[in-house]
């Protein structure tokens, strides 16, 4: 297997799918088939209602627990919200921040994303900061500028010493849930742009930040995606709901 500079991360985002019982069953099915590996980490992000159940199901397994979102305050009169300390208290390691579906459907702004990144770091969580352009921006040649702006605003104020706890997920909006994934070349080009911006922000510390690709990742394209040195892992949507396919994705073997 090709050696990688950064430990790969394969993260399944289950979105608004599965009851707690179904999520626990799926997590156990994945954990049973998952082999611990020093060159990669594997995590799943179930709905909030299933976090406790999935956390118990994956205990003592290589499968890590992630959350899909968090609020920017640690506690207070914020009906319906979930805080970083609550997530950390049940064993969550990673938390998605700024997923495009929250930006599009729930009005999450770059300023909100920035507050959530700070909250995650403050609570000992590892934020996975999501950035990506829509089809209109890509067609107009503005994809790089959109992604650069999202990234810089999301990471404003983050200290260099915190950089190693960050991950970035490039998820082109036009590829999410459509079956139309970016090509490995498209992903590598945008990841390279993101890497340049991270190095400008964090200097040598940026080398520890993993950049994931998200958008119609499947067992058919995982090996070619992970063959690119610029791709440090993947954020998996629909395919992560099928345990056998997600295990295959987590067992990627980069194509020559």
| 144-181 tens-digit pLDDT | 999 999 999 999 999 999 999 999 999 998 877 777 77
* Rounded Cα distance, 146 and 179, in Å: 23
The verdict on whether 171 is a catalytic residue reads yes
Comparing 109 with 36, which gets the higher pLDDT? 109
Q: How many residues does the chain have?
A: 256
Is residue 229 in a domain?
yes
| 47-94 tens-digit pLDDT | 999 999 999 999 999 999 999 999 999 999 999 999 999 999 999 999
| 227-245 tens-digit pLDDT | 999 999 999 999 999 999 9
- In which band, very low, low, confident or very high, does the pLDDT at 2 lie, cut at 50, 70 and 90? very low
Whole-structure pTM value: 0.95
- Residue in the structure block whose two tokens are 């396919």: 245
pLDDT at 1 exceeding the cut of 50? no
The verdict on whether 99 is a catalytic residue reads yes
How many helices, marked H, and strands, marked E, lie in the chain? Answer: 10, 8
Is residue 48 in a domain?
yes
Is residue 165 in a domain?
yes
Catalytic residue among 171, 197, 230, 245: 171
Q: Can you give the residue range of the structural domain that contains 69?
A: 8-250
Neighbour count for residue 232 (Cβ, 10 Å): 23
- In which band, very low, low, confident or very high, does the pLDDT at 256 lie, cut at 50, 70 and 90? low
How open is the CA angle 205-211-217, to the nearest 5 degrees?
Answer: 170
Count of structural domains, the chain: 1
Q: Which of 4, 13, 39 is closest to 230 using CA atoms?
A: 4
Give the chain's mean pLDDT: 94
Q: What are phi and psi of 78, to 5 degrees?
A: -125, 80
How far lies 4's CA from each of 146, 189, 222, in Å?
28, 18, 15
Q: Structure tokens of 22?
A: 């179904």
DSSP state of 151: H
Q: Which residues pair with 247 in a beta bridge?
A: none
Burial tier of 56 (Cβ tally within 10 Å: 0-12, 13-18, 19+): middle
Neighbour count for residue 23 (Cβ, 10 Å): 22
pLDDT at 139: 87
Q: How many CA atoms lie within 13 A of 95 on its CB side?
A: 31
How open is the CA angle 149-150-154, to the nearest 5 degrees?
Answer: 115
Catalytic residue among 41, 99, 162, 197: 99
* Rounded Cα distance, 187 and 196, in Å: 14
Is residue 2 in a domain?
no
The distance from CA 42 to its chain's CA centroid, rounded to whole angstroms, is 11
For residue 139, the SS3 value is helix
pLDDT at 182: 82
Q: Domain containing 85 — which CATH number?
A: 3.20.20.70
How far lies 19's CA from each of 52, 83, 90, 190, 239, in Å?
12, 21, 18, 36, 17
pLDDT at 174: 80
Is residue 96 in a domain?
yes
């Amino acid at each position: 297997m090709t050696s990688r500079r950064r430990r790969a991360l394969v993260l399944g985002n289950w979105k608004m799918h599965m009851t707690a019982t179904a999520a626990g069953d799926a997590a156990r099915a994945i954990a049973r088939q998952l082999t611990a590996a020093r060159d990669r980490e594997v995590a799943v992000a179930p709905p909030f209602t299933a976090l406790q159940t999935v956390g118990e199901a994956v205990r003592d397994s290589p499968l890590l627990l992630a959350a899909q979102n968090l609020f920017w305050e640690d506690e207070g009169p914020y009906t319906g919200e979930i805080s970083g300390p609550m997530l950390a208290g049940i064993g969550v390691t990673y938390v998605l921040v700024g997923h495009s579906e929250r930006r599009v459907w729930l009005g999450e702004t770059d300023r909100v994303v920035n507050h959530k990144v700070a909250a995650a770091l403050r609570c000992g969580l590892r934020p996975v900061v999501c950035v990506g352009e829509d089809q209109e921006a890509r067609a107009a040649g503005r994809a790089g500028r959109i992604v650069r702006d999202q990234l810089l605003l999301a990471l404003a104020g983050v200290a260099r010493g915190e950089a190693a706890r960050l991950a970035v997920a490039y998820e082109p909006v036009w590829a999410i849930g459509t079956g139309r994934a970016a090509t490995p070349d498209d992903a590598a080009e945008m990841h390279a742009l993101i890497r340049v911006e991270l190095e400008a922000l964090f200097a040598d510390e940026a080398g520890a930040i993993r950049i994931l690709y998200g958008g119609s990742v499947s067992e058919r394209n995982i090996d070619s995606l992970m063959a690119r040195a610029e791709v440090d892992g993947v954020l998996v949507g629909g395919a992560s709901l099928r345990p056998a396919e997600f295990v295959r994705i987590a067992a990627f073997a980069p194509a020559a």
